[in-house]
Chains A and B, each alone.
Chain A
């Protein structure tokens, strides 16, 4: 019973969202607002049940883990943003969070985004016995990375063999990258449409086996 009602509600609002393709209309706006509202409502309830109650309210009310009062107060300081006279207090949790985040993330960011990526570029162009496409791939990676970096090097005019030709190759490779990203983006958008059509035709109308 509830499953059927849920299906119908989902289907009607899916069609309401699709109606935007014809033109902007109140039904679309209703669906849009409901999505945002219900998502937020669900998130608040779940966060309260999964996080606040078991980790803060329950233990503290039983006199356990009293140290949790400190982060709770820090969290509450965010609310001072709504009161201009004491809004400066909200900077403390923000500063604490940013400082902790930076301190924890920095070494791993360096390793993940920079060191390992540089290491992955420092590869031999030719490995004896390797298939030709591996060699071609290695050449593209090494010279493509260099060309891309040259393109973004603005302290020298992009002239001559190294900077001029290098930056031209760089921009071409960047454009090829953008093209691939755009192609994947189109694929992604069509996939989302396919998902909704599958829901409408299959789950709702039962036309697909």
Chain B
């Protein structure tokens, strides 16, 4: 009998990997649509973005590397989509070189017009003629752009004009000092954007010259770099900051929500899925995204892991391994 328990405790871990693989692959084809209930931490971020408009501005910090892309990317895409739908100007930054590339990927997925409900990107150079004719505001820009023979493609949700709705500032080293510098002037820290365009000329830079004129920074982080936004953004200029962090990091940052230093937090894939649900409920997207789809899988994988932990404990106690004598005899 004991031998059986021992065998169970010493099972080849590759069988467990196989079980996890089955549980992670199969639910993608059998969609269960288990409910994802948004928590207050995520709702706070959503509500703040939802209260903003074209006169406000937000920063989205792509402060992660490919290692945590699966968790952080859906958060970034969800917040970006929400901000674009409300015409909130978005500045994008990155604390690492790889983060800049990932930001470009994330933004490109929102600008992929093959997907219904996405946005059409108008690069800075492309709307130069409209700009030279006299830019007076976002609505007039959109009207002038369409009047110039640019109809909104079918299925697209709206236009995103570089320099008005969106600026990709890119990567700079020693980002903590960059945040400090942006407290005085964003354009001094980033004379050009990631594509070499002059930021001083961009309308959104003229309307939001420094972090004091920005309404929110959402940092999507896979490391403690997210704290720089609080250290130098919140503490110095009072910038509201929201976190989108990996699940591993989430528990570390709950105290900052309670203290009011962080507006809210998206923790891991679940946090991203909650944001997607809120967006769908708010009518900003027709369907939820990748994070929500992954939650069925997540739930089933958790059930399997819980079962395995329980089975392991049963084997441990039923086999008498909890007794010191039993352990000694097997050394």
Contact = CB atoms under 8 A, between A and B. Distances in A.
Partners in one complex: yes
Interface of A: 21-22, 35, 39, 42-43, 46-47, 50-51, 54, 104-105, 108-109, 111-112, 116-117, 119-120, 141, 177, 180-181, 184-188, 190-198, 201, 207-208
Decide if the interface of chain B is mainly helix, strand, loop or mixed. Answer: helix
A141 B258 contact: yes
B261 A194 contact: no
Interface residues of B, number: 60
Contacts of A116: 259-261
Interface of B: 14, 17, 20, 24-25, 28-29, 65-71, 73, 96-98, 100-101, 170-173, 176-177, 180, 191-192, 194, 227, 230-232, 234-236, 246-248, 250-252, 255, 258-261, 267-270, 290, 293-294, 297-298, 301-302, 305
B178 to A, nearest CB: 11
A185 B97 contact: no
A112 B261 CA distance: 8
B17 to A, nearest CB: 5
A191 B294 contact: yes
A177 B253 CA distance: 12
A43 B102 CA distance: 13
Nearest to B71: A191
Nearest to B196: A54
Contacts of A188: 71, 246-248, 268
A22 B17 CA distance: 9
Given A177-B251, A190-B24, A108 B70 contact: no
Nearest to A141: B258
B125 to A, nearest CB: 19
B173 A201 contact: no
Contacts of A185: 247-248
A86 B253 CA distance: 43
A191 B272 CA distance: 11
Contacts of B173: 47, 51
